[in-house]
Amino acid sequence: MVPRFISGKFVANLYSHENFVAVPWLLVATLFLYLADVKTKILPGITHWQSPTFYAYYPSNSSVAGFLGEMLSAGLGIVGFSWVTSPAATELEMIVLDWLAKLLNLPEQFLSKGNGGGVIQGSASEAILVVMIGAREKVLRRVGKNALGKLVVYSSDQTHSALQKACQIAGIHPENCRVLKADSSTNYALRPELLQEAVSKDIEAGLIPFFLCGNVGTTSSTAVDPLAALGKIAKSNEIWFHVDAAYAGSACICPEYRQYIDGVETADSFNMNAHKWFLTNFDCSLLWVKDQYVLTEALSTNPEFLKNKASQANLVVDYKDWQIPLGRRFRSLKLWMVLRLYGAETLKSYIRNHIKLAKDLEQLVSQDPNFEVVTPRIFSLVCFRILPVDNDEKECNNRNRNLLEAVNSSGKLFLSHTALSGKIVLRCAIGAPLTEERHVKETWKVIQEEASRLLGK
């Protein structure tokens, strides 16, 4: 009988050379025993994010390369907070973030050769938080430590709630968070004149504008803010400009989609999640800053127990000072593996294929008189709904909620929803590595069938 719990001592005894034949068999048997439990007790409670018909939220890609990198990282088991704790981990992270910055055609200032550079965070939320804390310290040095209550943050109402959380943690007064309305007239992009108006009003009131979050690919509908115009306003008012491209940043490696980050030259920081749509297993959120010292001046600590020659001599990057935690995993290995194994061209066709599938779905939706595409598709997210009958928007919202419930309960696919201008909208975010044309066609069939049932047709 294979023991369910194996004590450390037992394992040590097993590994003694007398047992070298028995060990592999015992471990394989244990694994099988546990896999049986995984199959019967755990898998039934799993939401299958890697399923070809998972379309909810945004994708969270995993891949063979990502998995191999993750496995190597787990095997090495390093904790690379300072350069000296595993020099290759820091160096590789700098190299792959430079590679990707070049692939995205980010401005030179984001590269590690000057004051800038990239760092891997666990999430886009952490990325926003660290840059906000850096920006907060920078502005408080300029205007005085007591001015925290006067600092103002700007964004559109389509910005991810990660910004609100960052404000809460960074101590920004809730009344100083300007959530500017974006509507269907701009496809939910922030209007620069609204920002300008809000900034001028705040300055007049004696407040201090200090942080702007622009979006490339909002969570609800992939709206893209006009970065260049927003950045110009930010620059002339000494406001830190962060660009959140958590999902859509990946698409911008394709020359034809690079236009959506035009204006990023005006940003102070830029973020994209490689763990969303870039074949890199969760978690791997990429953040670039033009001035690394804004982060390190806000986040550095230097306790005796971490002192070492390389850090003291200021010769190296210590990523612990670019993030909230001390410890950090060797995440760059999986991104390196993805870039090495697949290469830029494969990654571009991977993205293009999903966008093509989304285009096909958009067309299917627009051909059905019961449905509408609510906002034009830009990347691989299609936002749609059943149309109202007799202009009854309330009933229409209920019907769309019911449709979501019905298609998800079928167990055949998984969509999520949002609200745009008060309309309940279904979101179909295509981006799982296994999704093919046949899955999208079948998905649309399921949606149409459930809709017909709800409409009594």
- Tell me which stretch binds ligand PLP (CB under 6 A): 67-75, 214-222, 335-343, 442-450: 214-222
Query: Closest Cα partner for 120 from 85, 86, 96?
Result: 96
Tokens of residue 342, six digits: 């697949």
* Per-residue DSSP letter, 40: I
Judged by CB under 6 A, the stretch of 30-38, 145-153, 241-249, 325-333 that binds ligand PLP is 241-249
For residues 141-170, which are near ligand PLP according to CB under 6 A?
160, 162
Nearer to ligand PLP, 111 or 124 (CB): 124
Q: In the set 123, 187, 366, 448, which binds ligand PLP (CB under 6 A)?
A: 123
Distance from chain centroid for Cα 29: 39
Residue 124 found at the interface with ligand PLP (CB under 6 A): yes
Phi, psi of 42 (to 5 degrees): -105, -50
For ligand PLP, the binding residue among 246, 252, 404, 413 (CB under 6 A) is: 246
CB of 84 to ligand PLP, least distance (A): 29
Specify whether the CB–CB gap between 299 and 132 falls below 8 A: no
- For residue 171, give the DSSP letter: T
Candidates 70, 244, 321, 362: give the one binding ligand PLP (CB under 6 A). Answer: 244
Contacts of 261 (CB under 8 A, 6+ apart): 104, 106, 216, 227, 243, 245, 249, 252, 270
Smallest distance from ligand PLP to CB 231, Å: 18
Residues across the chain: 457
C-alpha angle with apex 131: 129 to 136, nearest 5 degrees?
Answer: 95
d(CA 301, CA 427): 43
Contact mark string toward ligand PLP, 62..101, x via CB under 6 A = ----------------------------------------
Residue whose CB is less far from ligand PLP, 247 or 371: 247
CB of 273 to ligand PLP, least distance (A): 5
Q: Shortest gap between Cβ of 429 and ligand PLP (angstroms)?
A: 9
Q: In the complex, what is the shortest distance from the CB of residue 269 to ligand PLP, in angstroms, rounded to a whole number?
A: 13
111 versus 415: smaller Cβ distance to ligand PLP: 415
Interaction residues for ligand PLP, span 379-418 (CB under 6 A): none
Residue 264 near residue 227 (C-beta atoms within 8 A): yes
Is there binding between residue 61 and ligand PLP (CB under 6 A)?
no
Task: Provide φ and ψ at 371, rounded to 5°.
Answer: -120, 160
CA 41 to chain centre: 30
Nearer to ligand PLP, 82 or 156 (CB): 156
Q: Does 227 interact with ligand PLP (rule: CB under 6 A)?
A: no
How many chain residues bind ligand PLP (CB under 6 A)?
Answer: 15
Cis peptide before 283 (omega within 30 of 0): yes
Contacts of 427 (CB under 8 A, 6+ apart): 55, 56, 57, 220, 221, 381, 382, 383, 415, 416, 417, 418
If one asks whether residue 285 binds ligand PLP (CB under 6 A), the answer comes out as yes
Q: Residue 133 Cβ, how far from ligand PLP at the closest point, in Å?
A: 16
Nearest to 121 by CA among 413, 332, 262, 263: 332
- Which positions lie near ligand PLP, rule CB under 6 A? 57-58, 123-125, 160, 162, 217-219, 244, 246-247, 273, 285
